[in-house]
Amino acid sequence: MKNAVGRDIPEKILKETKKEVFKGTYVKDNYEYKKGAPKIRTLSDPTRSKLVKDIHEALVKCGIKDGMTISFHHHFREGDYVVNMVMEEIHKMGIKDITISASSLGKANDPIVPYIEDGTITCIHSSGVRGKIGEAISNGKLKKLAIMRSHGGRVRAVETGEVHIDIAFIGAPTCDDYGNMRAVGGKSDCGVLSYAMVDAEYADKVVAITDCLVPFPNIPASISMVNVDYVCVVDEIGNPQKIATGAAKPTTDVRKLMMADYCTKFVINTPYFKEGFSYQTGVGGASIASTISLGKVMEERGIHMGLGLGGITTPMCDLLERGLCEKIVDTQDFDLGAIESIKNNPKHIEISASEYANPFNKGAYVNKLDFVILASLEVDVNFNCNVVVGSDGVITGAQGGHPDTAAGAKCTIIIAPLLQGRIPVICSNVTTVTTPGETVDVVITDYGVAINPKRKDLIEAMKGVDLPFKTIEELRDIAYKMAGAPDPVEFEDRVVGIIEARDGSIIDVVRKIKSRT
């Protein structure tokens, strides 16, 4: 059955998942539902300890068994050890048929691939996957369908009860013996624990894993002891060097700087660029460069950002320090500068992933965004974006907050080079739709700027603005003229994963890649 972005979703998949096809970004506004709830085992005897001696004991006490759903967060990014440690122990115990529900998985988690192959792990829910896990799923090694959800979509799935987490393992930079977790003050600081908050509230069993046990009470806590069953101390929860890198040097790539300048010029000519505007960017070189160049204009004109949202990097914190930004509201820290900022600056505030982006609560921060500046692997002539599946058909990225912020922001801007190597980023049809074109307003490339034709107001606002405006089809044609039109990647019929829209409907499917000889 064809969905609202023209993708044919096989009946078999709709039946198997009991899901609907995507019908539009805002069709579930005003939707009523009753939340799911965890099963709680109380602790009222003050002499009972939550400390367990190792992960094995935690698993035993939590009643690990075949078929369970185990959850993780990805705040330790490419430095994460927690997923691998826990899965290694589950594997050793001979447990099978585990569903991993992760806020995201990266290359750091490559070591779990053998557990996919031997049936320890049979299902993965994530915002995306990179490295060998992506290759394994695209080659059909995972027994059940992989489900890719945005950050907001994941919270929705857990809060509605669609996903029920049996045991949540939450890596915590610091924790006390009663389970109060903080993301700062330890040896592997990650700044915030936003993505893990829903796990703590909705999982039947919650295990804190830390490498820095601190005296009680460890407050103000990101995750409170009232939701934590056990505390497990290990030697290392991650590699601090990979959890928080130094601030990325501002890009010197002239192509990216040019696109950043185009972006700033576009932003300041919209009606939304006024005192108190709200803003989010991704962490690509061009996005960060556009924050820096926008800062200069803000200073010149005396315009202040009321809210800086999202995954945070040093350039955003610099705006806060300089008094150009009033508040930073944070769900993920990408570098040491961002972590230092949340430790020291009271105007830099941690929120939950639900507050950030959940489409099924009573209003999330993304709905209040004026601008979001994002990247994309591919954008097609219908403005649909693909941020999950590489142009070669292999899963290699993550939705993250892309669909959430695009749906929420008044002005969604994609910055992308026209060609990535030889691959046209602007194309006729994206390999996989992960963010619907109806939520994408502007595409900025090194060869021109295209405004979504349905945004007549933005087209009007840009009259007389000196930018190389083109239609999206013109951009595609330039790309194909330089690189040649790409041959379509060949897939087999078997569906290996589904891409969920924010509301849980199916926006696209990912098929097994044809074996290549």
Partner 1 sequence: MEIKKAASAGTLESSDAQITVEPNKKGINLSIESTVINQYGKQIEKVVLETLERLDVKNATVSVIDKGALDCTLKARVECAVYRSNDIHDNLPWDGAIK
Pick 336 or 423: Cβ nearer partner 1? 423
Q: Which helix (H) or strand (E) is 24 found in, with range?
A: none
Residue recorded with tokens 């939705």:
399
User: Which DSSP symbol is given to 128?
Assistant: B
Minimum CB–partner distance for residue 487 and partner 1 (Å) = 5
Write the single-letter amino acid at 451. I
Minimum CB–partner distance for residue 393 and partner 1 (Å) = 7
Pick 467 or 483: Cβ nearer partner 1? 483
User: Which DSSP symbol is given to 63?
Assistant: T
Minimum CB–partner distance for residue 510 and partner 1 (Å) = 15
CA pair distance 395, 413, nearest whole angstrom: 24
Minimum CB–partner distance for residue 491 and partner 1 (Å) = 10
Minimum CB–partner distance for residue 429 and partner 1 (Å) = 13
Pick 30 or 515: Cβ nearer partner 1? 515
Pick 29 or 487: Cβ nearer partner 1? 487
Minimum CB–partner distance for residue 285 and partner 1 (Å) = 15
From residue 173, give the alpha-carbon distance in Å to each of 65, 90, 183, 305.
28, 23, 5, 31
From residue 267, give the alpha-carbon distance in Å to each of 33, 68, 277, 309, 470.
38, 47, 11, 16, 17
Q: What is the largest CA-CA distance in the chain?
A: 73
Pick 5 or 513: Cβ nearer partner 1? 513
Minimum CB–partner distance for residue 396 and partner 1 (Å) = 13
Pick 358 or 391: Cβ nearer partner 1? 391
Contacts to partner 1 by CB under 8 A: 391-393, 421-423, 482-484, 486-487, 489-490, 516
Pick 36 or 486: Cβ nearer partner 1? 486
State the pairing for strand pair 348-350/325-333.
parallel
| 440 and 452 Cβ atoms separated by less than 8 Å | yes
Q: Which helix (H) or strand (E) is 248 found in, with range?
A: none
| 148 and 127 Cβ atoms separated by less than 8 Å | yes
- Cis peptide, bond prior to residue 38, ω within 30 of zero: no
| 68 and 86 Cβ atoms separated by less than 8 Å | no
State the pairing for strand pair 325-333/305-312.
parallel
| 142 and 117 Cβ atoms separated by less than 8 Å | no
Pick 315 or 390: Cβ nearer partner 1? 390
Minimum CB–partner distance for residue 139 and partner 1 (Å) = 14
Pick 340 or 446: Cβ nearer partner 1? 446
- Distance spanning both ends of the chain, measured CA to CA: 33
Pick 134 or 393: Cβ nearer partner 1? 393
E-strand ranges in 358-440 read 371-374, 378-380, 385-386, 411-415, 419-420, 423-424, 426-427
What values do phi and psi take at 368, rounded to 5?
Answer: -100, 5
Pick 171 or 424: Cβ nearer partner 1? 424
CA pair distance 486, 166, nearest whole angstrom: 45
CA pair distance 152, 359, nearest whole angstrom: 6
| 208 and 94 Cβ atoms separated by less than 8 Å | no
Minimum CB–partner distance for residue 447 and partner 1 (Å) = 14
Minimum CB–partner distance for residue 483 and partner 1 (Å) = 6
**Token representation of residue 466:** 């000196």
Minimum CB–partner distance for residue 516 and partner 1 (Å) = 7
